[in-house]
Every structure is written in structure tokens, then in C-alpha cells.
Structure 1
Amino acid sequence: MGIPRLRAYAGPAFLSYGFRPFFFLGSLYAGLSILLWLPIYAGEFNAHSAFVPVDWHVHEMLFGYLPAIVTGFLLTAIPNWTGRLPVQGLPLLALVVLWLAGRIAVFFSADIGWEAAAVIDGSFLLAVATAAAREIVSGRNWRNLKVLLPLAVLACANSAFHIEAHLQGTSDVSRRLGMAAAIMLISLIGGRIIPSFTRNWLVRKNPGRLPVPFDRFDIASLAISAIALGAWTFAPGNSVSGMLMAVAAICQAWRLSRWAGERTLRDPLVLILHLAYAFVPIGLALVSASIFFPDAVPAAAGLHALGTGAVGSMTLAVMTRATLGHTGRELKAGKGTSFIFVVLLLAGSLRILAAFVPSDAVIDMAGAAWMAAFAGFLLIHGTALTTPKAR
């Protein structure tokens, strides 16, 4: 399934497809934001943000980095889904500038005012959701409209984050709502691409058991996860929320087991998708455990399993595969690519560990591993993102 034929385009390759600028700048920002966060966390540097330091960190991961990667994915996938031409050139540049403006506005929100920062920052996700909806509706690709729901929730959570942080002094409900939207995006998109890519590889390389096709169990798992995440968002300490999160964790783990991931050990590009998705049930289970056993399981463990683990690993896996596939490279993970997968999985694991063993050294190691992964992605795949497609 290839990207539709392009209209006449003579501009820079960097603006020929949405994945190019957003994967490049998103991965660059993923590393730079943590490079800034570590000294901010240590009290050695102050941002000019109206957010308290931890809110700036949470916001820029959930509403800065993640939307860039989701936008790159959607602007590349939607033309495949609909058969319509991709967004490119000046319209794509406008979206890139809007995203960059949001990052600058949030960082300097104490100087320009929280209202101005909220409007500038919030306009990006609104523009992306509008563009995606227009393309899907125009292409009459109704079945993919469901992807817009968690995207719309993410946009609402972003606006709520600014308001809540201003009124309450810090975010609470809105950060959980943003995380819930992120996990539902991963559940929807991951549930589509992981079994598909796994099936394609197994048929060619390792005949035998194949992933179970999408069925009612997947629908039930998504519904239960959405309900559980919604309950946790608005009642994070309630035992009912804890039970729902536990059930959701079991369903997501069972769902993952149906995709034959254990048969993909010889292909890191496929295996990483399964390992990244595993952080979803792990995170849900840790959140549930933190509700019932708060003295033994810190709430931060589940949050970082879902954030650093699931969001970080899944986005890097998708970026790598999409970059190789859409720039004419071989769909094969070399030693460098395998390395960045390993260090990002390590970053997620270390960040979970840091919740149980509070240690600046462990947090620093997790941050270093995260930065190494995204720096490695740029070093290995940056040229592919900025130059014409290989023949």
C-alpha cells in the first residue's frame, strides 16, 4: 500500500510528506526537552514558563512531543487510507511553524501570558484535527474517523491543562486525561499496525501461528480500557477505578499475546512494536496497584510506564519503520537501530525503577538513555528524512 501519486512538487524533500519534518523535529525536541528538564529538575535552571517545572515537563512530553509524532504519522497514513494527495509544501510548513510557535510560547508563557500561550499552543492540535477530519471525510473513509476521537480528547486535555494549571497552580485531571488519550491512540493505532506488520513478516519469514484478526475481543478491550482510563482520570484514588484498570491491564495483555510477538525475535523492527506495546498493560497494572497499595507502589511508576515506556517506545518504533518504508530504504534494523530500541526500553525501565528507588542517579541514567535513543534516531535516519526518496 503506497502513498498516492504526488501533485507536481518542486520544493524541498523535507516538506514533501508530513512524517519528514514532524519526525525530525519531534525526535530532536524529545532529546532537547529532557536535556533541559534534567537541570530544571535539579534546580539548576529555570524556564520562563507559567507552568511549575514538573508541569512544563509533563506538558511538553504529552502535548509537545507526542502531537508532533502523531501528526507525522497521520499526515502520512491518511493519504494511504483515503487515496487523496498528501499535505505538503506551504500548508505543511504552516503546521510545522504552528507547532514550533507552541513550543516557544509555552517555554516563555510567564513572559507573554498564559492566555496567549494557551491559544498559540492549542491551535496546533485543533488545526491537525481539522485537517485530518477534512481528509478522512472527503475520502469517505468513515472507519478511520475513530482515530479522531482520542486526538480530539488530547486537544481538549491540552486546553484544560493550561486552564487548570493557571487556576489550581498545577495540573491534575488534565494530565491524566492527556495520558488517557495517548494510551487510547496507541491502543487504536497499535492494534491496527502491530498484527498487520507481524502477519506480513511471519508469512514471509516464519510460517506458522499468525496474529488473531481484529474481532469482538479487541473491541471489548478498547471499550474497557477507555472506561478504565476515564474513571482513573476523574477518580484516581477510587477502588472502582483500580479494579477497572486491573481488568483493562489483563485485557490488554491478553490482546498482545494474540499477536504472536514471541515468533518475531529475529526481526527487531517487528519485535520492538510488541515490546513497546507491553508497557501498556504493565502501566495499567501499576496504576491499579498504586490505588490499592499506595505505600508499596508509587503512582509515578504507572505514569512513567505509560509515558516513557509505552508512548516513548511506540513512537520511536513507528517513526523508524515509517521512515525506512517511505524513504525507499530496506525494512531492516541495523545494529544502530537495534541499539536505539534497546536504550529506549532501558530508559522506560529505569524511569519505572526510579519511582520505587528515588535516586537522582537513576533518573539521570533514564534521561541519558532517552536522549541517546532519540539522538541515535536522528544520526541514523536524519538524512533519510531530509533528502529525496532513495531509488
Structure 2
Amino acid sequence: MKQSVKLQELHSKQVEIGKAFSEHDLVVVRCGRRFGKTTLLERCATKWSYQGLRVGWFGPTYKLNLPTYKRVLQTISPVVVSKSKIDQIIETQKGGCVEFWTLQDEDAGRSRFYDRVIVDEASLVAKGLRETWEQSIRPTLLDRRGKAMMAGTPKGVDPENFFYQACTDKALGWVEFHAPTASNPKLDPDAVAKLVNEYPPLVYQQEFLAEFVDWRGSAFFSEVNLLEDGQPVEYPTRCDQVFAVVDTALKDGLEHDGTAVIYCARNKIAGHPLIILDWDIVQIQGALLEEWLPSVNQRLEDLAKETGARQGNVGIWVEDKGSGIVLIQQSERRGLPVYPIEEKLVDMGKEGRALSVSGYVYRGDVKFSRNAYDKVTNYKGQTRNHLLAQVCGFRIGTKTPHHMDALDVFCYAAAISLGDSYGW
């Protein structure tokens, strides 16, 4: 009995690009967020493996590959003959397969042969992808005269980024398709049209128009957007809840790094959605962090009273890495309300997190209280407002110093409290 597999329906622009995969040997797709890139690629991988073709899927990391592995497996399950979640391999009837590789491995794909190759989120691989493509991935297509497709959302103007090269240097042989967010007819056109007013211009150009943007010299977060008529705001007399975010030192063996904490008030109906009430950045030995954390919780209790928080102190969010793991475990034993920051958000990196919360800041949803704005501390011999300096001094497209813990807690706080079901 013939097994049937139901494929997801594509919109018109996805169909156009899908047809190009069979007409050209090398196709690169430059698309905006919510266009449906991954849906298209997953559908292609499923269809080809169902037909008995061998497919190699190459993504930046194992974690980014895993959701796609699960979705492809679920769709193709009627004809699967073997599978391995650990190795991320799906084998189907007629000799087809989908094998997943991480681009963190410069030898990804060596010793294999494929009919089709998919390189997903190529723009996220800053350096080394061209060498991996030329030396490891492209040779897998020789046996069966296979085809390749690469896709991603632009990430700055970077001549060393292979995705950028493939889109802009026609001599490399890639046929480019440009698909801004508005190309997806399944999205609400009114909501898409409003995006231009909800994000900083450069963010809108990159993330939704899918254009290559030169970020050099541009301050990412504007102080003007963090104030109200040029002034910080007063503490609210009523708010829904208060919470804190902690970014601990000792995540990467950097014992001289700081531990930052930010205290915030969340308003879901009236008032400013997110107000930064207070912050601190300290150098503290890892063994003493668990003794320090109760003071953070007590500060939240005091702020809950001061701001009339209806739901009170809802807890402290901590990176689930390095000393953060110990903090979370110790807090559970002490009965403190401490929670891990979602792993996907941590893995986005500083630039990714900043991009994800840029719209909230641009729209004025995040404000500095007078206390947080006027606060000055001495840290590593420098007396200043370290939170304001790190947030407003952040630049995309330049090498970011590792000691940007205050920036991290700022972005985490905005993402955790203002994010929705579509992400951050």
C-alpha cells in the first residue's frame, strides 16, 4: 500500500522560489523575517527525501537544526525506515534521507554524497562558511550532479560573510531571490505596513526589507527613546509586577568580568510597559554569589511596596550557564523565586538579542526611571552610569567587548517581559 505524506501549502512567492530550485544549480534566498523561509526549505527537504533523494541539511548549530529535524520527521513519518535524534538522520523508503550537519564543524558533509544540499541561516555564520562550502559541502554534490540552496536574513555588510558574498558577487554563480517580509501574502498587510513605524529605520531595512545594512558608527539604542520628553520617568505609584534579571560572571572563565542586575516594573495595561527602576554591576567571587542573591530578592520586595506592584515580586531571571546554574539550584533550596532565562534567548548572542528588542525601545515601551538614569557607580576604576553607557554605546557590526553585562540584562529584561508568542 502506497504511503501518503501531506506537505504544507506554500504561498505564491515560496512556490516561485521552490521552482527555481529545480531550474538552477545554486540558489540563494535573501528574505525578511516571517517570510516563511524555513517552512519552504523544510517542505523541499521532505518532498525530496520522499522521492528517494539524499538531502544534506547544514545549519549553524545542533540546537537550531533540532526543531527542523522534528518537523521534517513528523511530516515524513509514514515512509521513515530509520531515524536518530542524536545523529539527526532520517532515512526513508526508496533510499532517500535527510542528514543534518552543524556548520560549527568545518568538515561537515565529508565522505557523504547528496542530490540536494540546503544551507539554512547562512548569514549567522560570520566567518569560515566559504571554506566549509568549497572544501566539504560542495564536493558532496559531485557524484549525482546535485543542487544547492542557501537562505538567510541579512546581517550587516560583511565582505567576509559567505552569505553576503553569494548574494552580491554574481561571479560565484549563485542565483539570488530577494523576498522581503511583505512577500508573504498570509501575513496581515496592515500589520506589515505598520512595521516601518515600529522599528528603527536600519532594523526595518535589514530585518523586514531584507537589505544589507551598514551598521558601522551607528548607535543602536537611542537615549531619546528611553526618556519621556527628554527626561527620565518617576517611579510608578501602581504597576502590575516587579522583577529582576541577573547576568553572572564566570560563564566563560572570565573571572574579572562583572555581575549585573537590573530591576524593572512591568505594566500590561496602563502606563509605560517597562520601567527600569534600578541596576547594579559588581565584581564578586563566584562562591559568594549565592550569598548576594537574597539581597537582590529583598531589593525587589522593597520595590514592590514602593511601586504598588499588584502581583508583587514575580522573581529573578538568571542565565542558565556557568555560575548561573549553581545560583538557580541554590535558590530552589532556599525557596527564592529564581528562574532560568530561556535557552533560545541566551543562544541568540548580544547582537541577536539587541535586534529582537529594538522595536520595543524604538516605540518608547522601555523607559529609564529617574533613579536608574541618575545613578552613578564606580566599576573597574570608572565612575559613570554603566547601564546607560553600555546600552547607548552599543554598536552592531563592530567587535563587542565581553564585559557588556549591563547591556545583556537590559536586553533580557525587555525580551522576557515584552516578548510575545512570535518570539522577542
Q: TM-score, normalised by structure 1?
A: 0.26
**Relative to total residues, which structure has the larger strand share, 1 or 2?**
2
Between Structure 1 and Structure 2, which shows a larger proportion of helix residues?
1
Q: Which has the larger radius of gyration?
A: 2
Q: What's the TM-score once normalised by structure 2's chain length?
A: 0.24
